[in-house]
Amino acid sequence: MKPFQYTKAVTQQSAIEAIAKPGVKIIAGGTNLVDLMKRGVTAPDKLVDINNLPLKSISLDKAGQLHIGALALNSTVSESPLVLEQQPLLAMALKAGASPQLRNMATVGGNMMQRTRCAYFYDTTMPCNKRQPGSGCGALEGYNRMHAIFGTSNKCIAVHPSDMCVALAALGAEVTVSSRKGSRVIPFTDFHRLPGDHPEKDNTLADGELITGVVISNNKFAKNSYYLKIRDRQSYAFALVSVAAALEINNGTIKEARLAMGGVAHKPWRLYDAEKALAGKPANEESFNQAAQIAMQGAKGYQFNSFKLKLAPAAITEALKHAAGIA
């Protein structure tokens, strides 16, 4: 590991000033960043510890919006009475996302910033456009069982690893960020990027911007929501396919639906067309099967992950059945 400087930020402004300089990275829980440093994937000159910043609160405002600070621990959020009551889908995703030990260290902001677990990205002897732009994508013709079926490019087919982010995408959350230029709000579905020609860019954060929190607007999904994660083993593992499903049901009819998938794209994959197809339909298996088929439009499998083309729609139907209470 390359030697680096370490300092603690005392104020939010001092953290922003620090990260505006090249070669500086933020550290909070460090559950992903430290691994990347050990493997030589990233080598910052300086780490700025932001754990002392007042960004850990979980609160509900007068409009019913849920505010979660960027430094709130995943374990704290998943057990928060406010989250369990208002946005249980988020709690489900967090509990599916990692071991208790990791949840006790990982933060909301860090979860959003974690990088792909593609084996070619982590192996510095292999080509990877995400790690070293222009070097090629080893996964395209290599072992790509865990890789994307949506939104890929000829530069990268890696997937985003987070479960929490899939739920936040489905719930239409917003990300609050601050920088020297002030503050701004980013729709969660716009925060992460598809690979395109620049897979080295995971998100739309500008240089020197600090994530301060996420906001989830009031909704009526608490009663009928479910997070389904399909993985190789029940203990801590990344998703082959995951589905965040949320429904507002009135007298057996779907008034509104929200769907997003994990393990299938470079970012949490929102299923807008399937959501539209469910609106006004009866909350039954036939409606769910139809929506699942619509959701798969544009999907493309590779040599070792084509099984996802069947697994994904089956997972969508199953998650919707659980959300509707008919599983």
Please report, for the domain that includes residue 21, its CATH number: 3.30.43.10
Residue type for 247, please?
L
Asked if 216 and 292 touch (Cβ cutoff 8 Å), the reply is: no
d(CA 7, CA 20) in angstroms, rounded, equals: 15
Question: What residue type is assigned to position 284 of the chain?
Answer: N
Statement: residue 234 has pLDDT above 90: no
Q: Say what the pLDDT of residue 324 is.
A: 98
Closest CA to 118 of 306, 315, 263, 311: 263
Q: Considering the domain boundaries, does residue 7 fall inside one?
A: yes
With respect to residue 87, please indicate whether it lies within any of the assigned structural domains: no
Mean pLDDT score, 105-124 = 98
3-state helix, strand, coil in the chain (%, to 5): 30, 25, 45
Among 156, 155, 173, residue whose Cα is nearest residue 164: 173
Tally of domains in the chain: 2
DSSP state, residue 206: P
Confidence of residue 185 (pLDDT cuts 50, 70, 90): very high
Report residue 1's pLDDT band, with 50, 70 and 90 as the boundaries: confident
Q: What is the pLDDT of residue 127?
A: 98
Question: In the Cβ-directed half-sphere of 309, how many Cα atoms lie within 13 Å?
Answer: 11
Mean pLDDT along residues 157-175? 98
CA atoms within 13 A on the CB side of 66: 23
Residue 231 has pLDDT above 90, yes or no: yes
Predicted pLDDT of residue 72: 98
Query: By the 8 A CB rule, do 246 and 90 touch?
Result: no
Section 321-325 average pLDDT? 98
What is the pLDDT, as a whole number, of residue 235? 77
Distance of alpha carbon 122 from alpha carbon 107, whole angstroms: 22
pLDDT at 302: 98
Percent of the chain with pLDDT over 70: 100
pLDDT score, position 260: 98
Cα radius of gyration (the chain): 19
CATH of the domain at 269: 3.30.390.50
- Judge whether residue 2 has pLDDT over 80: yes
| Mean pLDDT in residue range 219-246 | 95
Give the total residue count for the chain. Answer: 327
Q: Is residue 12 part of a domain?
A: yes
CB atoms within 10 A of CB 285: 15
Mean pLDDT throughout 13-27?
Answer: 95
**What are the residue ranges of helices labelled H in 207-325?**
272-278, 285-295, 308-324
Rounded Cα distance between 150 and 128, Å, is: 19
Is the model's pLDDT at 111 over the cut of 90? yes
Domain with 232, as residue range(s), is 225-324
Structure tokens at 168: 């936040």
Task: Look at residue 250 in the predicted model and tell me its pLDDT.
Answer: 97
- The region that residue 30 occupies, defined by phi over 0 for left and psi between -120 and 50 for alpha, beta otherwise, is left
How far is residue 118's CA from residue 283's CA, in Å, rounded to a whole number? 37
Reference 21, options 40, 1, 42, 48; nearest CA is 48
292 located within any domain: yes
Residue 236 has a pLDDT of 81
Residue 195: per-residue pLDDT? 98
Mean predicted confidence (pLDDT) in 125-141: 98
3-state secondary structure of 195: coil
Q: How far is CA 187 from the centre of its chain?
A: 13
| 280 Rama sector, left if φ>0, alpha if ψ -120 to 50, beta otherwise | left
Burial (0-12, 13-18, 19+ Cβ within 10 Å), 183: exposed
In this predicted structure, what is the pLDDT of residue 98? 87
User: pLDDT digits over 23-71, tens only?
Assistant: 999 999 999 999 999 999 999 999 999 999 999 999 999 999 999 999 9
Residue 180 belongs to a domain: no
